[in-house]
Structure formats: C-alpha cells, structure tokens
Amino acid sequence: MTFRRRLYLTLSPDERGGVIERIFELVVILTIILNILEIVFDSVPSIHNEYGKLFTGFEIYSLIFFTIEYIARVYSIVEDRKYRDPVRGRLEYMATPLAIIDLLAFLPFYLVFLPIDLRFLRIFRLMALFRMFKIARYLHALSIFKRVLQDRKEQLVLSFIFILFILVVISFIMFYAENEAQPDKFSSIPATMWWGIATLTTVGYGDIVPITTLGKFLGGLFAIAGVGLLALPAGILSSGFFEMLHTKDAGSKHTKVCPHCGKEIHEMK
C-alpha cells in the first residue's frame, strides 16, 4: 500500500479503518470541540486576561493542524474514484462544501499577516466558527439527516412557501385593521410583517401589539394558527426520520449499503 493510499484511508471517515484511523478521528473531533470551547471562553474578559497565552498557543496548534490536514486531503483525494484526475479531480474536490469548510477553518488566521483593517479582519475571524461544521464529517448520524432533507426537500420547500404566503396574508389584513389606530407601528405591510413573524412563531416580543377589538381578535386567531403552521416542517422531518430508520432497520439484514453514498448495493445473482 502506497503512502498516499494510507493517508487517504486515514483521513477518510467513510473508509473502514483500524486503530490509527480511529485515533485520528478522535484527535480531530477533540481538537474541534476544544476550538469551540476556546472561542466561547476567550470572549470572557477575565478568562481571556488569565489564559490568553494558553489560548494563543492552542490557536497556533490548531492553525498548523488544520492546514496540514487540508493539504493532506487535497494531496490524497485522487485515491477516490470520483477524483482520479490529478489536477481536475483535486480542483473538483476543493470546490465541494466540506473542502470549503476545511479551508475556511484556518484561512482567516493567515490574514493577520496582511495589511488589512482590523475591523474588517474581525469579520473574517468569525469564520473560525466553521470549525464546528468540520465535525459533521465524522458523525455518521448526520448522513441520515442529509438523506432525509434530500428526500423531503420538495415538501419542506412547499411548507415554507405556504408559511410565507400566510405571513403576507395576515400582515395585509392586520395592516388595514390597525393602521388607523397605530400609524407609527403598523405603518406599512412590510413593517407589519415583523409583528406577523413574532406572532406566527409565538415569540410575542410585545414591541408591536394590536389595540383595536378586531386587531386583538385576529391576532389571537393568527397566534393559534402559527402553532399549527410551524408544526408542518417538524412533521415532515419526523416522518422522514421514521421512514428512513424503519427502512434501514428492516433492510439491514438483507441489503448492503455503500459507505460513500449510502445507497443500497444490489448483488448480481
């Protein structure tokens, strides 16, 4: 086995590996979790003042670690059949969502060495949060979530369009019900849509509330309707998860699943 092939098997969580592969996965997951904790606790002034040097040292380690990991993935990805071509294959891989997330996990910190406005740099440093998404590669349960979204994307899009349609309708009605009584708050239909969003989601900030009898009556109806409307996407996702898990459990004894795409492998008889 060549070094590049061994490197590919170590970096790819889809491939069944041994002790080395499992240790590497553990190191990556632990590094990502510690990065998340570092970002959170570094925002506390007292903790930053006391452990600032420790956070800086860990940041340098993470920068080197994620940079080497990204270069190694690009180098060894040609072992995958989808990216066989040495140049085109690597470019196609670098354009994939996971590869872009890997790049954004460390790229902003190299901007420190460039003459860029610090206020602009802070925006890019927020991209360090993309390290949280790197862990998705190593959580196989997320592949089920991805498949559910793919299978139910049409129903989800339709439900969100329906919710948006209802939001426009109730904002239109409430605007004409409350505009004369509160022209400063219900000044337009777009302004009223803020009240509609807060009402349909049952948040109820209270910054904009109806005061007329008709407005209160309609507001109550819309609030009750919002509970049912928001249950639509949840119901679609839950039914998708149930079908996916039920089908997987029922067919696990009789079918094999491809570790790359998750599709069933039909054996030739």
- Check residue 260 and give its pLDDT: 47
Domains annotated for the chain, with CATH where assigned, are 3-139 (1.20.120.350), 151-265 (1.10.287.70)
How far is Cα 179 from Cα 192, in angstroms, rounded to an integer?
Answer: 9
Taking alpha carbons only, the member of 73, 71, 70, 53 closest to residue 12 is 73
pLDDT band at 259 (very low <50, low <70, confident <90, very high): very low
Under 8 Å between Cβ of 104 and 130: yes
Question: Higher pLDDT residue, 146 or 193?
Answer: 193
Taking alpha carbons only, the member of 122, 28, 117 closest to residue 70 is 28
Region 150-165 average pLDDT: 87
pLDDT band at 253 (very low <50, low <70, confident <90, very high): very low
The token pair that represents 133 in the structure block: 């998404």
Region 226-235 average pLDDT: 83
pTM of the model: 0.60
Could you read off the pLDDT of 54-108 as tens digits, one per residue? Answer: 988 988 898 899 899 999 999 999 988 889 898 999 999 999 888 888 887 787 7
- Check residue 269 and give its pLDDT: 45
The token pair that represents 45 in the structure block: 């002034």
Report the chain's mean pLDDT, rounded to a whole number: 79
